[in-house]
Chains A and B, each alone.
Chain A
């Protein structure tokens, strides 16, 4: 007879069945694609020549850093993710990946992305990337999200930093242009996420996340959306008269800014029923197009100027 009772010992510890797709989902690929795009614009508008290998390295490190932030966010929020329909299918609530595995994955990616960017490109960019990850995970996810309705206003700074990191990677310094890109994304974040929160407020309420519609009510949120949209449109237009970006950008910003403002006014006007829901969904969808179009215009300007300078 054995002295030790083997039946009391866990003989089959949990062995992961998570595949690569689960780990990719942990990186929040859709958020990552927006980060890659905005960072690419920050890199391309920098007034210096960047070797393609260094440009690729910079964008890759920023993308992986964004993925690390996503994984660490999912590690910390796995309890509330399980309560919301939008996030219940994420790898941790589904039981595919455990929180410690997500933590280890996120920390490893964060370490390698920051160190690689610092060593291979420059340490200003590396430090900015480290600050971005820290801000998203510690300031936004841990300190703000569950405690204040201003969570996404302040936390939006993390999402606005990638083009600044990319500019720093290209130039080794900072300037007004990347700060303008930062401000555009910063003021874009509240109307975008509050539009989402308006039609997902039940989800947030169930999870106990104090999003503005849950705490202050839908009407106060509609007013805040309108006010932030007015500021956003003005901030996005300002670089044109100030001479930082040229007329093509200015006209694009003016036209799509008008669209954004009209949709925000609709959200403010229609407060009940299907009209209200439709207005909110339209603003949410258009806000994605708005940011994409603004940054795409800057990208196209630079590409056309490089390929066919006589056209511009």
Chain B
């Protein structure tokens, strides 16, 4: 088979594209929740956020 007959890279099926989009959105949401959580706790604790007894 000649080299130029092969498709360029990997072509995703519609199902693969859909599931990848879903996973990407879920990861984005999880990271968003993490950022909001850290922000909210920083506000709640105030300066005490640096005091973490072991």
A→B interface (CB under 8 Å): 2, 6-7, 11-13, 15-20, 23, 51, 53-54, 57, 60, 112, 116, 118-120, 122-124, 172
Residue from A16, A54, A119 in contact with B52 in the complex, judged by beta carbons closer than 8 Å: A119
Given A19-B22, A20-B22, A53-B41; A6-B16 close (CB under 8 Å)? no
| A20 to B37 alpha-carbon distance, docked (Å) | 22
Task: Kindly state the separation between the CA atoms of A7 and B5 in the bound complex, as whole angstroms.
Answer: 12
- Given contacts A16-B16, A53-B40, A123-B54, 6 further A-B pairs with CB under 8 A are A12-B10, A13-B10, A16-B23, A17-B16, A23-B26, A120-B41
Main secondary structure of the interface of B (DSSP, over half): helix
Interface residues on B, range: 20 to 34
- Could you list 14 A-B pairs, sorted by A, with CB under 8 Å? A6-B3, A7-B1, A11-B10, A13-B10, A15-B12, A16-B16, A16-B20, A19-B19, A20-B23, A53-B44, A54-B41, A120-B41, A123-B52, A172-B53
B residues apposed to A, CB below 8 Å: 1, 3, 6, 10, 12, 15-16, 18-20, 22-23, 26, 34, 37-38, 40-41, 44, 52-54
Interface SS of chain A: helix
Are B16 and A15 neighbours in the complex by a CB distance under 8 Å? yes
For B6, list chain A residues within 8 Å (CB): 6, 11
Contact of B19 among A13, A16, A123 (CB under 8 A): A16
Q: Across the interface, do A112 and B34 meet the contact criterion of CB distance under 8 Å?
A: yes
**Min CB–CB distance B8 → chain A (angstroms):** 11
Which residues of chain B are near A60, meaning CB under 8 Å? 37
Given contacts A18-B23, A54-B44, contact A116 B16 (CB under 8 A): no
Contacts of A13 in B (CB 8 A): 10
A51 to B22: give the CA distance in the assembly, Å.
Answer: 33
Which of B12, B15, B26, B34 touches A20 (beta carbons < 8 Å)?
A: B26
CB pair B37–A116 under 8 Å, yes or no, is yes
Residue of B nearest to A60 (CB): B37
In the bound complex, residues from chain B placing their C-beta under 8 Å from that of A120 are: 37-38, 41
The minimal Cβ–Cβ distance linking A119 to chain B, given in whole angstroms, is 7
**Complex Cα gap A12–B10 (Å):** 6
Contact A116 B19 (CB under 8 A): no
Cα-based distance from A6 to B3 in the complex (angstroms)? 8
Name the B residues within 8 Å of A53 (CB-CB).
40-41, 44
Q: How far is the CA of A11 from the CA of B20 in the complex (A)?
A: 19
Contacts of A54 in B (CB 8 A): 41, 44
Closest to A13 in B: B10
Kindly list chain B residues whose C-beta atoms are within 8 Å of the C-beta of A122.
52-53
**Closest approach, in angstroms, between the C-beta of A271 and any C-beta of chain B?**
49
Complex contact A116–B34 (CB within 8 A): yes
Alpha-carbon distance between A7 and B40 when the two chains are bound, in angstroms: 55
Q: What residue of chain B has the Cβ atom nearest to residue A123's Cβ?
A: B54
